[in-house]
Chain A
């Protein structure tokens, strides 16, 4: 089962950790809203398949870095369409 986890909470929030604790190796992670801060937190280890909303990164003056793929809302739709299951944390 291909799962897309969408998280909108800052990495310091417990919900963010709860999302990662439910994350299986081959799942995908999409950072939206305040969660995109995670893309700029060096100490935070993010999963291999990690995406972030470009508009949210730009709004906060961040760039995605090498390990996170920046996508637009159309890209977000594509990810949700391709996933068997979407969990919004």
Chain B
């Protein structure tokens, strides 16, 4: 009954109600875009949520090398490896050639990033689209567990790799048997997921210098895989994987003064950034960007609220006779609230349908990919806005009605 009476209110002022639907859908769309942009900023900091920021360092060997300098740098790294209070995780990366039976369309190479189990498992910050993270899946005999970027591979796919024999330092001639390796896809990550792929060196880095969207990591190869260098199968081919000169150093429970000294020495011979400092720099950037967006969000919501109140006032004046007739026929305040809730609900459902259409169109057009990241924030804030709008749509007519009497309304109309 309330739904029927609420829908009658919709039919009395079709143009105004259509305007309301478009207005609400627009404000929800804009708000969600802004939230998505803010979420995207936090994707960088979310990617390190499993790290102990105070005890973790990003280290990149200096590029200004003489042979002596390189030797010295390697000594310092070895000192870190030998110190029982420091866990050293190297980062491996590059391209792998696909064996022709693994070609997907004309794809010949895939990008890869590998590190050890410990660091690799921390990078699993809930970005999987399907399947399991490579450290969580069971080991398959004869294949390396990998997580692949969405688009080219699905969970369960076997990727056949032809390894580059020139990676081996001992390789001196062209005459060599090809070496093959298999990978099994245990999980697929979203292309906008944030993943660890260091791209630069230097001091005073932010997290965005070492963590970025996975689809950018894939580069010209168009797809990428991630795996652990500690994988039993990967270990067999460790020499074929290229160290990038970057490592993550973590102070463990055995750390003492000597560990801190080794870390400090490394800082003198290369680029050393504490994760906490990088996190703080990133947060400053994020706050600055949010402050730029907040006035825009506030302005959009304010415009929507003011427009909504005006339209509801006009709607209420136009519908006053209808409300008065309902009153004569036995409506009470509780009925009135329910009718208005039904009316608001129909408007909100229509707005949400329009919002979904607009959103889907923008996603299919690829507008959103590099702009926004979705999270529960979008759901919470959208629901909050919807509740607030419904409150206005119920409160304004009730306020109007409380100021008038049915008999006066009937006389005036």
User: Do the two chains bind?
Assistant: no
Write the residues of chain A forming the contact surface with B, with a CB cutoff of 8 angstroms: none
Write the residues of chain B forming the contact surface with A, with a CB cutoff of 8 angstroms: none
